[in-house]
Amino acid sequence: MKNLKIAAGITLLVLGLTSCKDEKQERAQKTVENYVVYVDSVKNVAVADLKDNWKSVEAEYDRRAQEAQAALADIKDNAAATEKINESKIKYEEFKKELTAQLVPAPGPKQQLRDALFGAGKMGDDMNFSWVNAQNIHSVYQQFVHTVEDNKDKYSREDWDEIKLMYEALDSRKNTVEKEGLSAEDNRKIAGLKIKFAPMYKINRMGAKSEENKEAKE
């Protein structure tokens, strides 16, 4: 009788442990599914609503992603669950990239011009040229002058005024860079670019102004 009681007790214990394991695995599977559903639901929210709550959405995503990743340890055969998580991660990152592009306002005409002259994001309203040094200043002048040359027929008088402002600021930076190890060869190349720019600016700005005056009279 005693042996039967012990055997029954062991059986109940095993069943209890199995039940706990099953429940733990079910919870883990549910956690993964909740993560997948969350990603799909975010993609269906209006952009305007996401714009106002994006930080909260990202925080919730990070929490659910971490929980889903941790839940894999409680799933015996987790290959399918791992695939689901990875697919949802890719979906989310692609969606985030598209959304970010929509949320960031397009640069205005002046910033577009600066981006073309110096490279995207290099020059803002602060006109900070600290990124220009003895090693890259020749390439900066080169991009500036060649960009102006390629687009000289498209610029308005206001564009030319902005170009002159940027050019003079770059020249001012050059005075500093010359004391910081600017090579004689790069200095000569920059001098050649400056010789090309000066008449191009004078002639084309004058032409843009004349064209605007003509249009104003008409």
- Closest-CA residue to 114 (of 80, 60, 165): 165
Which pLDDT tens digit goes with each residue over 93-139? 998 888 887 777 777 889 999 999 999 889 888 889 999 999 999 99
Taken in order 197, 201, 204, 206, is the CA torsion positive or negative? negative
Same domain, 96 and 169: no
Same domain, 90 and 141: no
User: How many CA atoms within 13 Å lie on the side-chain side of 212?
Assistant: 13
pLDDT exceeds cutoff 90 at 44: no
Q: Report the range of poorest mean pLDDT among 4-8, 41-45, 55-59.
A: 4-8
Mean pLDDT of 11-34: 66
Same domain, 40 and 135: no
Domain boundary (86, 103, 120) is at 103
Residue reference for tokens 């996401």: 50
Same domain, 126 and 26: no
| Domains in the chain, number | 2
Instruction: Name the phi and psi angles at 157, rounded to 5.
Output: -60, -40
pLDDT exceeds cutoff 50 at 16: no
Q: Is 155 helix (H, G, I), strand (E, B) or coil?
A: coil
**pTM value?**
0.55
Same domain, 8 and 42: yes
Same domain, 37 and 78: yes
Domain boundary (68, 103, 138) is at 103
Q: What residue numbers bound the domain in which 90 lies?
A: 2-103
